[in-house]
Chains A and B, each alone.
Chain A
Amino acid sequence: MGVSDLTAFRNEVGESDPVCVRGGGTHWEVGGDDAGVRSVAAPVGIEAFEPAEMTVTVGAGTTVATLSAALAEHGQEVAIDGPYGSTVGGALMIGRSPLRRGRLGEVADVLLQADCVGADGAVFTAGGPTVKNVTGYDLCRLLVGSLGTLALVGRVILRTRPLPEAFAWMSGAVSTEEVVDALYRPATVLWDGVETTVRVEGDAQDVDEEVGRLQTLGMAPTVEPALPTEWDRWTGVLPPGGVLEVGAGVVHQPDQPESGTVSVGVRALGERVRDSFDPARRLNPGRDPHRVSA
């Protein structure tokens, strides 16, 4: 993809009627529904990957799987998770942090630059190409998790990370506190009400030693668990079939969560932000980030 693809995307978005953007459709139900609204798809393809710079420029319509495979060839990855078929743009707009956030960081910190089409049909760029940047307002963090209601993202520059040399999943009926105390920066800590499951990663020898410590606690090797697909905010009580992501405030559960709760003041400010970017509410009109619980 290139500049011409972005121009084509802009022309497709247009400047007046309601329009929604469709990625892989893997989280189509999050934050509302745009059934019946004309849909567009973001450009696809890896435009530039500079392993030595640890950044990648990619069309927002590219699948997470395609991107991950290309990065892995050079021993790198990005802090974006998504089920098979999900797109980079979709994952950013949903704004869920990766399961390995303890090592990879939050999804909010992965987006360096976004080339977007605004509600008025004009292309604009948020952020910049470098890994550090405080030039002007931080529109990139605002865009992550915005469900495409502020602008439609066509192309992004993402921060990449080196893949860990080794990793291991361990689980057992041990308290999460004991597990956390035994480790340094575990990638993932999960608790299902009975067992704690943890992923450690890094240098191979360090991982071996951490695995040894966990075995002493009574944990055994396991594989990456299949988590229930719905996300809810952790409120202190584990729902049936739920798995807590410790430290992340997220519960993975089988049942669809209640709508999110938000104060009157925060909602009012959020609505002002949306109105400012899209006064006619033409972008993904059926969606609302205030409905997303976690």
Chain B
Amino acid sequence: MRFPFFSGLVGRIRGDDVLERELVAVLGRGRVESGAGALKLYSRDGSVTRGGQAGIVCFPETTAEVSACVATAARHGRPFVPRGAGTGLSGGAVPCEDPVMVVTTRMDDIHEVDVERRLAWVGPGVVNLDLSRHLEGTGLHFAPDPSSQQACTIGGNVANNSGGPHCLLYGVTSAHVLAVEVVLPDGAVVVIGAEEGRATGYDLRGAFVGGEGTLGIATKICVRLTENPPEVATLLLDFESVQGAADTVSAVIADGIVPAALEIMDQRVIEAVEPFVEAGYPMDAAAVLIVELDGLSAGVAAAIVRIEAIGSANGARTVRVAETEDARARIWKGRKSAFGAIAVIKPDYYLNDTVIPRTRLAEVLTRVYEVVEERGLIVMNVFHAGDGNLHPLIVFDAREPGVMEQVLEAGEEIVRISVEAGGVLSGEHGIGLEKKQFMSLQFSSADLEAQDRLRRAFDPDGLANPAKVLPSGASCGHVTGLDRAPEGTWV
């Protein structure tokens, strides 16, 4: 008599035992976790995606160990999932297909800082803000500044091609990654890119950045360091309508000014943040616009005058230039802690991330408010307006019956509106699991086939972070609300 299910299960458990023994042989007992607690912890990330299941969790500390973990998984026909701090918002680190989790947080050495050549080699587990702190006194900084920068790792920034407020002028992560040492899905180690100039051959570095962990694992990263600007001015403009703020942003770009940052926060965000941070946002404003200008002093002074004029022409009630470093820091603190403050409004949230043409900000925002509010929900907008990068944040109470469906419906509608306006699905959070079903809204099957050609070249056996990014038959995880905004989450 045969019990196919039972015997299959036994086989699986034995297979896992062997896999675990081999991984322990590589890493030692303390750096391989298979207990229920660890598996649960590493089955989620910062996204609203649930239903992932980690197979076994590894904590390598060297490139050779990462390579051995990946090769061991491959020998067992098991996929792997790279993971940094797990702050991602699209489910990119949620485990699918019972994978080996390769957690790179212990690879947190800053290997080398070359001030003269303005570059640094860092481990993937280095926290974004830790690198900037390490560089204090050198006159240089690492430009990508996602609002999660206190927690997120540079390896994760590479995987997601992360952005941040100051990417408007300085560009997203890809513009700041010169070279990457990568463990490919077969365990081979390559260095792609070059410390200076472009590398011989294809720009594999450019293709790898933003690969969401489906092309391999970054084990060392050579980042470009950016000169600190000699002059920085932070302006706060306030408006009686969100449209006025949006029109100001469009007009600033149209006037040929590229500020370092252009950020909008709407009234609900102001109301949530101002009592805690005392940033000086007027509580009765419908929206505030933060403008940061940097560079040499005359250029900054001239741009302030132009922005004051553009703001006034578009309905700004006041234009305030932060006079002190403290005032400047408060304006930014309010912006960067916006997400944490939402808990005072509703217990749950769903954050979206799309990009639209910058000339259409006002009309698309109007539509966003409509589609959310007509479902009886509340939306807050705090976003990278200069890039046209929307971050509608729907807040709700998941205990109310039927509310989750309404939230997801509104989210899907926001994606549709953005694409119809000539925009794209994601500006910085990536596709992961959350948005892969929407890929066909933006791309034809031929477009997706071209993307899959790149993926197959890196990962012919489909072992690297499976079921992510491209829509495929495999399903894994589901989107749901979070209990509350975790510490250090961002928009």
Contacts and interface: CB of A to CB of B under 8 A. Distances in A.
Interface string B427-444: 111110001000100111
Interface string A80-98: 0000000000000001010
A225 to B, nearest CB: 19
A4 to B, nearest CB: 18
Contacts of B454: 137, 139, 142, 273, 276-277
A124 B359 CA distance: 26
A135 B424 contact: yes
Contact of A146 (B202, B209, B256, B444): B202
A19 interface: no
Contacts of A95: 198, 203
Interface stretch (A35-43, A58-66, A203-211, A216-224): A203-211
A261 B200 CA distance: 7
Contact of B450 (A53, A118, A132): A118
Interface in B405-431: 422-431
Interface residues of B, number: 87
Given A209-B298, A262-B200, A266-B201, A141 B206 contact: yes
A130 interface: yes
Contact of B200 (A138, A177, A289): A289
B244 interface: no
B190 A266 contact: yes
B174 interface: yes
B447 A203 contact: no
Contacts of A130: 355-357, 387-388, 422-424, 427
A73 B444 CA distance: 35
A48 B428 CA distance: 26
Contacts of B209: 138, 141
Nearest to A203: B299
B346 interface: no
A251 to B, nearest CB: 10
A265 B204 CA distance: 12
A191 to B, nearest CB: 14
A260 B427 contact: no
Contact of B196 (A54, A142, A247): A247
B451 A289 contact: no
A134 B202 contact: no
Contact of B201 (A53, A129, A267, A277): A267
B191 interface: yes
B329 to A, nearest CB: 23
Interface stretch (B24-32, B78-86, B455-463): B455-463
A281 interface: no
Contact of A151 (B387, B422, B450): B450
Contacts of B443: 125, 135-136
Contact of B253 (A52, A136, A184): A52
Nearest to A74: B256
A136 B195 CA distance: 26
B174 A141 contact: yes
A53 B253 contact: yes
A144 B206 contact: yes
A97 B388 CA distance: 26
B104 interface: no
Residue from A126, A130, A139 whose CB has the most chain B CB atoms within 10 Å:
A130
B469 interface: yes
B309 to A, nearest CB: 17
A76 interface: yes
B150 interface: no
Contacts of B448: 136
Given A106-B175, A134-B426, A203-B295, 15 more contacts: A52-B254, A128-B424, A132-B163, A134-B161, A134-B429, A138-B174, A138-B206, A145-B198, A145-B203, A185-B295, A250-B197, A265-B184, A265-B188, A269-B190, A269-B192
14 contacts: A130-B355, A134-B210, A134-B430, A135-B435, A135-B442, A141-B174, A142-B454, A203-B295, A203-B296, A262-B199, A262-B200, A265-B189, A273-B457, A293-B200
Interface of A: 50-54, 75-76, 95, 97, 105-106, 108-109, 116, 118, 122-126, 128-139, 141-142, 144-146, 150-151, 161-163, 177, 184-185, 202-206, 209-210, 233-234, 247-250, 260-263, 265-267, 269-270, 272-277, 289-294
Top 9 nearest A-B pairs (CB, nearest first) are A249-B196, A141-B206, A249-B197, A260-B200, A203-B299, A52-B254, A205-B298, A162-B256, A206-B296
